Structure 1
């Protein structure tokens, strides 16, 4: 979606004034099925989660979701989390878990 100058300014003001990023605005959402190739391409190795979380906690959570083979960071206003991805089987999101992605 291409924004005009007014929409760009509104977006910048919303982000700086109210801490609302464009990613949190439904008008910018895309069809999830169209995003799957990008999800597969950008998903990261699960081993990286050990850099920001205790390995015990990572192992415990990953045991609950054996189909997860990669992850994407999930930016949030309060606490950033992790979306576990099944990269090998069409890039499906398995779960959003309470692990720090960075």
Structure 2
């Protein structure tokens, strides 16, 4: 049997490499989008949460969290408590850990 897909375990920690801050027309911060270097060396794009744009700096440590994107058709069902859940599960990186 040929295994085409490789898997690896990551520490879920990293550091901010770069970021951008899209704003609404009236200047409200919509989100912080970042480029994160994981401790294992690979880079990924993800949303950064738990920080003010003015306080971010290259090298800021972050930790991954997995959140639901909201209602959607990609993932639905029930959680362990029986509550209905919808939306995709996506990674975000939290500052201040």
Pairwise TM-score range, normalised by the shorter structure: under 0.3
Q: Which has the higher helix share?
A: 1
* Structure with greater strand percent: 2
Larger RCO (CA under 8 A, 6+ residues apart): 2
Q: TM-score, normalised by structure 2?
A: 0.28
